[in-house]
Structure 1
């Protein structure tokens, strides 16, 4: 017996609650590839370093984890995601679908999110083991399930701006600029560090800072950003916003007033 991907969305909707789809890129290969070790034990950091060293098609072997994080190039940790969503005003009871592979460190790290938002939902809680058999050992089909549930969610939040996150955001824009909250990872690092050192505490002041920072990062209509001025050649294309991330205006029809109402 197999399960249609859309059926999982229907099961989520049948619970009668709005849900967030969280693309939580806290997976072993992603952390190793980006060289991000913040919040990990020494043993975990070493395991990721060895994986990066022994993966031949990853060209960059030595990465400064601290510089990566300060530059905003690291996925948010489960703990950081929890602080972020709470600061945005989402209540602890909010259903959150985890669109991701196996979380590195398992419940040890995931508990830092579930302690704030206990209503976490996984594919395994939406479908029976028999239904999920068709997806075993098929990474692309598993990703397709997450993709569809993310596109159909009330709010989509990516913890890292990878290919799937950009594609989901672009698809949601095409469907009417559905709410997509894109974390300002570089800006958030300063806030998280202040919390860590006690220079800032969680509460109203923190919420106001985070909400101001993300007022214009929620998927509202805007034209696709062009390349940086003065950049030429192939670098010009690398600095231009991806069409798949934002197909507006070429592939989104309708009057300006209509877009602004969505």
Structure 2
């Protein structure tokens, strides 16, 4: 810019302000004035952004005074352990008056159940219902031996096979093996659609015109969560909660371990700590891990063929609430809920990734952590070693019977245990709001928040309706269309209310 108050742009002269000779002092004042305008603009812009961020968080931090007025400094012991109010509700799985006894049938369904223990359990319950709808005899399913856990167990190693067959004889005919004369006949090999309805399976009965045996390659998620006949929904509950009892040896040891936990402390929390290598690799969650550990998990994900998503943004996963809580986060969470450091916590999990290094962030707050190896002898566990599904069955029993159950991720076991506890009387199940907690933990990390009354208020406020109390099953979120909505609905096995949980005897037999 020259003395004429004219600037040049692309060779053309542009008048910027009226031409006047300016003294050094007036030029300095002008510069200060421009800087002031810029500063005010930046201040307003960032103030608005900060306010918008605070609104989006939905975590308006209360003052220390308001916190002390709203909450007692410590919750009473009774409040910490008591189950949600569910007066009058009770399990109801009896067939309705319209239900007809099993008619048998000369058609057969063979099944290969896929996944880990609880994925197989719910899949088997689904296949019982499918066999009923298709008027077929169910052959005892073959269990998955190719999953991440490489468990070679057969059905009778995990479940009481005779009890399973006998308890469902009024619903479905079940046999241990296909009749010899049918072993070599051609079978219809079928991938039944996910989230199938009654109409779909009635359509599938056309297969009987050409085949006597149908082989089902996958058992998980074969049935819709909703809009099935009441008797089919109750049959699913009878199959899962009554018929699929664990083998006598697992049942006996599981009850012993529960008694030992009770004799040690009376009450205990079961914590499904999904901080295991497979879970972290599958979800792509690396928060709090070293660079070497992160690369180790990425390598495992890339090498696992059936894990379809190979590139995952760990930060985005965590912010969306899709990562399991870390041991450190669990410790902060439990303390904020009000549980004392002396609380007995049973860890239901496989090997924790990073071992004692990562676990120490939890044990420093809650030293009374118990693993099954601490309450069972080497001799007692010898039979189950190297059989992940059998070990998971022991964990499942201990979790169902605990005073409080807390899952750190919403996987198959977490959903199955929550549903079973609801079925048995809405036992206390605290489901962490992982998306909300990430925002709280980040405030702690940045120094905007400290452990104390404000943190307790935030965490307890986030979870006062996440204690396992009675509620209707949730549908798909708004905006999801087509078949995707079926997958987005809450699992029937996570919340079998109202079909399998009744408020009166009239509803039980309707």
Equivalent in the alignment of 1:146:
395
Equivalent in the alignment of 1:260:
none
Q: Which runs of 5+ in 2 are unaligned?
A: 1-248, 506-510
Residue number among 58, 64, 88 corresponding to 2:307 in the alignment: 58
Equivalent in the alignment of 2:415:
166
SS of the residue corresponding to residue 405 of structure 2 reads strand
For the residues of structure 2 that align with 1:147 and 1:190, how far apart are their CA atoms?
31
Check if 1:239 corresponds to 2:476: no
Equivalent in the alignment of 1:119:
368
For the residues of structure 2 that align with 1:65 and 1:130, how far apart are their CA atoms?
41
SS of the residue corresponding to residue 165 of structure 1 reads helix
Residue number among 174, 179, 198 corresponding to 2:428 in the alignment: 179
Equivalent in the alignment of 2:213:
none
List structure 1 segments (4+ residues) > 6 angstroms apart after TM superposition: none
Equivalent in the alignment of 2:293:
44
For the residues of structure 2 that align with 1:4 and 1:53, how far apart are their CA atoms?
38
For the residues of structure 2 that align with 1:16 and 1:26, how far apart are their CA atoms?
25
- Once the 2 structures are TM-superposed, how far is the Cα of residue 233 of structure 1 from its aligned partner? 2.8
Deviation string 1:44-71 (CA, Å, 9 cap, x unpaired) is 0010011111111111100000000000
Q: Is the 8 A contact 2:265 2:344 kept in 1?
A: no
SS of the residue corresponding to residue 97 of structure 1 reads strand
For the residues of structure 1 that align with 2:338 and 2:332, how far apart are their CA atoms?
10
Check if 1:250 corresponds to 2:502: no
For the residues of structure 1 that align with 2:259 and 2:336, how far apart are their CA atoms?
29
- CA RMSD across the alignment: 1.4
Equivalent in the alignment of 1:135:
384
SS of the residue corresponding to residue 134 of structure 1 reads coil
Deviation string 1:134-179 (CA, Å, 9 cap, x unpaired) is 1111010011011000000000000000000000000000000000
> Paired residues, what number?
256
For the residues of structure 1 that align with 2:425 and 2:436, how far apart are their CA atoms?
28
In the TM superposition, what are the counterparts of 1:79-228 in structure 2 within 5 Å?
79-228=328-477
For the residues of structure 1 that align with 2:502 and 2:261, how far apart are their CA atoms?
30
Identify the range of structure 1 (222-231 vs 149-158) with the bigger mean alpha-carbon deviation: 222-231
Identify the range of structure 1 (2-11 vs 238-247) with the bigger mean alpha-carbon deviation: 2-11
Q: TM-score, normalised by structure 1?
A: 0.95
For the residues of structure 2 that align with 1:134 and 1:112, how far apart are their CA atoms?
32
Deviation string 1:209-244 (CA, Å, 9 cap, x unpaired) is 000000000000001112234533321111211011
- Once the 2 structures are TM-superposed, how far is the Cα of residue 17 of structure 1 from its aligned partner? 2.0
In the TM superposition, what are the counterparts of 1:9-48 in structure 2 within 5 Å?
9-48=258-297
Identify the range of structure 1 (17-26 vs 2-11) with the bigger mean alpha-carbon deviation: 2-11
For the residues of structure 1 that align with 2:357 and 2:438, how far apart are their CA atoms?
22
For the residues of structure 2 that align with 1:86 and 1:48, how far apart are their CA atoms?
30
For the residues of structure 1 that align with 2:448 and 2:479, how far apart are their CA atoms?
40
For the residues of structure 2 that align with 1:98 and 1:63, how far apart are their CA atoms?
28
Q: Is the 8 A contact 2:267 2:344 kept in 1?
A: yes
Greater C-alpha Rg: 2
- Once the 2 structures are TM-superposed, how far is the Cα of residue 254 of structure 1 from its aligned partner? 2.8
- Once the 2 structures are TM-superposed, how far is the Cα of residue 14 of structure 1 from its aligned partner? 1.7
